[in-house]
Structure 1
């Protein structure tokens, strides 16, 4: 069961993007790492803009490059935490103009968009999912979650009436991990979206005179084409939830995950021992 969540790019370009990502990972300076990461995302966005503009003005380019779908494996059935891995993939995908369907058991996703954009998303995800897991492992090993609480809404059944109340319980390791990774994914999505928007603003702001607005129109046309392609190809039904309501909410774990997402560096997926962004079981 699939659940719906509502490019021309050559090897040289991907090499340049990977180089920036390696620089991000190679520095101990948090601000330098973020600068390199944002530069990589802006470069990916610039290539996406170039494709959109080329397709808007050249019928041959439009015919040669069309949206595609690609299945990306997230993990094996039964592995804990796959929902937060999917959430990270979706956050990166949305910053790079993709639509995503999710398998009901979160073991894989199907990305819809232009091939170059999907390539960029896979490279980013392959690095960031490893960092997310490592950061959450470090958080748990530090013991910082101990003494914290998690809140969840429960139903209390009385003799004559039932009511919903907020219940606070000691923060368990699994709830701490889920909250940490959720906040990490949210922060990464924000960072990449900001970098994308900066690149788009620069491209559209440089237009003057008769050409003014043409890039924005090309990008809008590209977005519509991807949405239409997803609508026609997707077999998804129902809705997908990133986490279980029974897990509980922890402000402390969310803050820790958000902080880790701010500090995350983005590197080449080939530097890790997990091809295609998959984690071992």
Structure 2
């Protein structure tokens, strides 16, 4: 199946997930979309290993994905969401220090899938976190912070629990949302790969997948110029059980969709 046809099929599943009010149907469509994306990537990998010499062989590429405008606050949780999606679709990433851009490394069809899923899920994440803040539920939650206190010549690290600020509540909520989405997509990916391997053991799908993994790893090592460590885990100023539970619930209930035509929507959101 061509990349265009694959994207069109995923788009249909996304729209079905978006239109249904039944959470079980929505989740089924979401998982079907991820399985199709994973299965399509497997098919492409198998095709690459058997491509005739006269055809141009697909190779990994690097693509810049803009997350937001430099200087905007809260972009690190947006990046966390994109990374969660990328991990489930065989795409490696470097992140700009500003968190305004992600440099994705992978095959074109895999990066297309990541951008399509992100365009849908980022809208849901922002809307869900807005609703959480507007509900005022966060005002009953607390945040835990580690502070350093000095007693004489000795310094102690003490964990303090304080009221949860709205800004921190939003970031904690979005971080938990991204983590849950990554787990759901990862489970769908693992299931699709297992089914593909068991369905046609004679094709050598497991070996092809391994070769694809090695090819991408080699491409990333030879292409990436990233230096230092992206401090994604420093996205929030503390840890809030309440906000993270709320974000996790929203991630469990998230539906895919939101763009009328797959891959054409903006991946940025103004704040």
* CA pair 91-230 structure 1, distance change in 2 beyond 3 A: same
* Structure 1 residues 1-281: aligned runs within 5 Å: 9-58=2-51, 60=53, 63-208=56-201, 211=202, 214-244=204-234, 247-270=237-260, 275-281=265-271
Q: How many angstroms does 1:79 deviate by? A: 1.2
Which is worse superposed, 259-268 or 49-58? Answer: 49-58
Q: Secondary structure at the match of 1:276?
A: coil
Query: Normalising by structure 2, what TM-score?
Result: 0.95
Q: How many angstroms does 1:64 deviate by? A: 1.9
User: Using the alignment, how far apart are the partners of 2:174 and 2:235 within structure 1?
Assistant: 15
CA displacement 1:132-170 (0-9 Å, x = unmatched): 010000000000111211001111122210011101110
**Contact 1:34 1:265 (C-alpha < 8 Å) held by counterparts:** yes
* CA pair 159-235 structure 1, distance change in 2 beyond 3 A: same
User: Using the alignment, how far apart are the partners of 2:270 and 2:99 within structure 1?
Assistant: 15
Q: Secondary structure at the match of 1:155?
A: strand
Q: How many angstroms does 1:60 deviate by? A: 3.6
Query: Normalising by structure 1, what TM-score?
Result: 0.91
Q: How many angstroms does 1:13 deviate by? A: 1.5
**Contact 2:60 2:108 (C-alpha < 8 Å) held by counterparts:** yes
* CA pair 237-204 structure 1, distance change in 2 beyond 3 A: same
User: Using the alignment, how far apart are the partners of 2:131 and 2:246 within structure 1?
Assistant: 11
* Structure 1 unmatched runs, 5+: 1-7
**Contact 2:10 2:37 (C-alpha < 8 Å) held by counterparts:** yes
* CA pair 59-238 structure 1, distance change in 2 beyond 3 A: farther
Which is worse superposed, 218-227 or 153-162? Answer: 153-162
* Structure 2 unmatched runs, 5+: none
Q: How many angstroms does 1:280 deviate by? A: 1.6
Q: How many angstroms does 1:247 deviate by? A: 0.5
